[in-house]
Amino acid sequence: MSAAKADRRRSWMDWYFFGWHPAEALGAVRFYFGLLLPFYLIVQFVQILTLDPFGAHFHYTRPIWYFWLLGIDTHVPWLPFLVLPILIAACLFFAFGKWTKPAILVIILCIFYLKGARDSFSGDVHHREVPIIAILILFLVSKCDRMFGIDARTKKLPPIEDWEASWPLRAMQTYIAMFYFWALVAKLRLSGLYWFTGDAAHLSLGWDLAHHPQIIFWIGVLVFLFELLFPLILLVRNWRIKLAMLGGAVLFHFSNYLLLNVQFYLYPIVFVTFFNMAEFHRWITGKLRLTNRRSRVPA
C-alpha cells in the first residue's frame, strides 16, 4: 500500500471513529444506559420468577449450549430470585460509576445465567440479550469509568481525551446499525422474496392484516428499505435527523411486537449511544433546577 493510500485510509478511520463525541459523553451514555438496563432485563427474565422458589429442583429438558458445556443440567428454583436482584444492583453500580468494570462483569455473568435458565426451558436460543452483551463489552474495554461517575469524582481519576470517548460510542453505533442490516440479509437468505408476503398472523391485528396481501407487501417494502438504509445513520451528525431515524426504528419495534409478538420493543434503550447524553443531562438538570426555583417562589 502506498503512503498516500495509507494516509487516506488513516484519515477516513480518524474521521469515522474519532471526534464525534466529547469526553464526558461516554460517561453520560453509561449513566443513562445503565439506568434503563434493569427495565430491559427484568422484562426478559421475569417469567423465571413465576416458579415456586421453594419447589423441587428439576432437570432441564434441553440445556442451552453453554450450560451443556459446563455440565449445568438442573434448575435451582430459588437461584433466579438471588441472581436478578444482584443483576439490578450491578446495573445501578454501573450507571453511577461505582466499581464500574467489576459491575459490568457481574451484569454479564448474571445475564448468562438467567438467559441460560430461560432458554433451557424453552428449548430455543433467544437473541434479545446479544446486543446488550456486545455493548457492555465495549464499555468494559473503554475508559467509561473515568468520567461522569462516583469513582471518577471521589478518586479524582484523570480525565480522558475526546477520542477515547468517541471510538467506543462509534463502535456501539456501528454494531447497532449493522444489526438491522444483517437481520435483512438473514431474512432474504432464509426466505428470499417470499418474505415480502410473509406470515403476519401471530396476533389478532396481524391476522386481520394477513387477509390484505397488498398491505403486507408494502409493509415488507418499508421494512426492507428501513433495514437496508438504516446504516446511513452512521454518517449523520445532526441530532434532529438522528432522532427522526431512530423514531422510525422505535415504530418498527413496536409494530413488530403488536403484529408478530417479536419482543424487542425495549431494544431502543440502546439508542442513547447515538447522542451526546452529557448535553442532554445538562439540559434536563437545568430544567429541573428552574422548576424547583419556580416552586419555591411564594405566591
Q: Encode pLDDT of 70-122 as tens digits.
A: 988 898 999 999 999 999 999 999 999 999 999 999 999 999 999 999 888 87
Torsion of CA 288, 292, 297, 299, to 10 degrees: 90
For the chain, what is the mean pLDDT? 83
User: At 281, which amino acid appears?
Assistant: H
Which of 8-12, 41-45, 99-103, 264-268 shows the lowest per-residue confidence on average (mean pLDDT)?
A: 8-12
pLDDT at position 205 is 52
Q: Which three cell numbers mark 182?
A: 444483517
Q: Encode pLDDT of 189-245 as tens digits.
A: 766 655 555 554 454 555 456 555 666 666 777 878 888 888 999 998 888 999 999
Cα(4)–Cα(156) distance, integer angstroms: 42
Torsion of CA 202, 208, 214, 220, to 10 degrees: -30
pLDDT at position 190 is 65
pLDDT at position 50 is 85
pLDDT at position 9 is 60
Which of 32-36, 48-52, 107-111, 217-221 shows the lowest per-residue confidence on average (mean pLDDT)?
A: 217-221
How many residues does this entry show for the chain? Answer: 299
Burial of 259 (C-beta count, 10 Å sphere; 0-12/13-18/19+)? buried
pLDDT at position 201 is 47
Average pLDDT of the residues in 275-284: 86
Expressed in angstroms, the distance from the first to the final Cα of the chain is 74
3-state SS assignment for residue 74: strand
Beta bridge partners of 75: 58
pLDDT at position 106 is 97
DSSP H or E segment with residue 135: helix 130-141
Say whether pLDDT at 279 is over 60. yes
Closest CA to 224 of 258, 265, 192: 192
pLDDT at position 6 is 54
Closest CA to 244 of 232, 260, 228, 256: 232
Q: Which of 45-49, 101-105, 158-162 has the highest mean pLDDT?
A: 101-105
Burial of 234 (C-beta count, 10 Å sphere; 0-12/13-18/19+)? middle
For 122, phi then psi, to 5°, come to: -80, -20
Q: Encode pLDDT of 119-156 as tens digits.
A: 888 767 778 888 999 999 999 999 999 988 899 888 88
